[in-house]
Amino acid sequence: MEKRSIINLVKIFMKYKQQFIIRVFFLFLLSIFIVKIYPINHLESDRIAEFIHIGSAQPTYSNNHVSYPFTLVDGYNRNVTFKEEPQRIISIAPSVTEVIYAVGADDKLVAVDLSSNYPNETENLPKIANFPTLDVEAIIVLNPDLIFGAGITSLEDVEALENQGFSVFILAPFNVEDVLEDIEVVGRITNHESEASTLKDSLQARINTIEQNVTKYTFKPKIYIEYFSEPLYTYGKGTYGHDLIELAGAINMAENATGLYPQIDDEFVITQNPDIIFYAKGSWTTTNASTISSRTGWNIINAVKNGHIYPINEDWISRGGPRIVKALEEIHSKVKLVTSQSDRDRSITPAFEWYWVLVMIPISVVIGIKRRS
């Protein structure tokens, strides 16, 4: 008898088969709607990272003169000879574009790649596709006398460009020190040596200030930088994110994880108990401090308890350009804040009561079925 009745039920569903699937979908939506509308937590308004121009190198045609020709070794261990000052430069990496602008060689720049979005002046330049394959044809049309690439440029692309007779120079910095050296290299190649060394010195001075401060701190806070939220990705060893944390006198929570951008789980973050949480802020991210602190179980993490959740511009920490020092200062300022604070306990807020879902979903189902009949 029982089997009959269930088959009858299915028969009723099949009678309305076109609507059935759509109904189920809307019930699905409805239940999510009900679930989501209940817990309304407003903890902290979102902070938006501000872009601050760095380096502000004036395009003054100063009295410095680099003596050409000379030969330099690039990031791929290739010897590149520069016979004279390059007049038509193409950058095929966003980090190098930033360096070129910072040393004031942007008047020689004829094109940049699609991902170059800083500074705003890049909008006026022609764009070259560099992902997933480099648009060599567009480069041939523009006829540059020097192409700057970075570690993301593959060796095959470099060879393809060389076969066309172009001179290619690759900047592949591995850490912050390398970035500073590359600024000088770009300055030398583009005949803006004095601007470059001024910029490098000022950046170095800012790093040195931080390094001096770091020695005074009594403890090293743990930091978690969230690269993506669904699922959780963080910055592992070998990325600038990891280097910056160490330079700022802190510990990267994921220093033992395998991979450059390891995927981790909630339990790992809770167990590691970071003191500061940064979340990468890019044009595509929707994470903010309140979404992080409202995650289940995260309320017992020190950073969440004490409200140390901050945005950090994704471009600052992922590009080997001058703005990386900006990222370092941002991280360091929070490390300073945490190490100086002593109030490290707050009462634990109760977790979200989810059990009422059990009550609401059958009700929504009943409403859905009633509407049908």
Partner 1 sequence: MSSITPNSNDTQNQVDVYEFYRKKKLFWGLILTVSVLVLVISAFIALMFGSAGPIGPASSRLLTISDVIQQIIRNSSQFILKMVGYPVHEETSIQKIIIWDIRFPRIIMGALAGMALAVAGTIMQALFRNPMADPYILGLASGASVGASIAIIAGGTIGFLAGYILPVFAFGGSLLTIIIVYYISNIRGMVRIDTLLLSGIAVGSFMAAITSFLTYISGQHLRPIIFWLMGGLALVEGDWESVMIAAMIIVPSCVICLIFARSLNLLLLGEETAQYRGLDVQKVQKILLVLASLITGVSVAFTGVIGFVGLIIPHLIRLVTGPDHRILLPTSSLIGASFLIMADVVAKTVIYPTELPVGIITALCGTPFFLYLLRKQKKIGF
Q: Which residues bind partner 1 (CB under 8 A)?
A: 3, 6-7, 10-11, 13-14, 17, 20-21, 24-25, 28-29, 31-33, 35-37, 115, 131-132, 228, 230-233, 236, 254, 256-259, 261-268, 270-272, 282, 284-286, 291, 295-300, 348, 350-351, 354-355, 357-358, 361
Min dist. Cβ of residue 289 to partner 1 (A): 15
Please name which of 274, 259, 282, 340 lies closest in space to residue 305, comparing C-alpha atoms: 274
Min dist. Cβ of residue 132 to partner 1 (A): 7
Min dist. Cβ of residue 227 to partner 1 (A): 8
Beta bridge partners of 82: 70
Instruction: Calculate the CA dihedral of residues 195, 197, 200, 206 and round it to 10 degrees.
Output: -90
* Distance from C-alpha of 220 to C-alpha of 240, rounded to nearest angstrom: 19
Min dist. Cβ of residue 297 to partner 1 (A): 4
Min dist. Cβ of residue 118 to partner 1 (A): 15
Min dist. Cβ of residue 267 to partner 1 (A): 5
- Answer for the pair 309, 290: CB distance below 8 angstroms, yes or no: no
In Å, how far are 237, 357, 359 from 23, measured between CA atoms?
49, 19, 20
* Distance from C-alpha of 60 to C-alpha of 39, rounded to nearest angstrom: 58
Q: 165 vs 350, which CB is nearer to partner 1? A: 350
Beta bridge partners of 225: 278
The residues, any chain, with a CB within 8 Å of residue 246's CB and separated by 6 or more, are 252
Q: 21 vs 52, which CB is nearer to partner 1? A: 21
Min dist. Cβ of residue 263 to partner 1 (A): 5
Q: 191 vs 287, which CB is nearer to partner 1? A: 287
* Distance from C-alpha of 335 to C-alpha of 190, rounded to nearest angstrom: 37
- Answer for the pair 224, 277: CB distance below 8 angstroms, yes or no: yes
Min dist. Cβ of residue 44 to partner 1 (A): 16
Q: 164 vs 364, which CB is nearer to partner 1? A: 364
Residue type present at position 304: V
The residue whose two tokens read 């995650």 is: 295
Task: Please give the structure tokens belonging to residue 231.
Answer: 């699922």
Q: 137 vs 267, which CB is nearer to partner 1? A: 267
The size of the chain, in residues, is 373
Please name which of 337, 283, 271 lies closest in space to residue 310, comparing C-alpha atoms: 337
Q: 88 vs 295, which CB is nearer to partner 1? A: 295
Q: 35 vs 337, which CB is nearer to partner 1? A: 35
Cis peptide before 126 (omega within 30 of 0): no
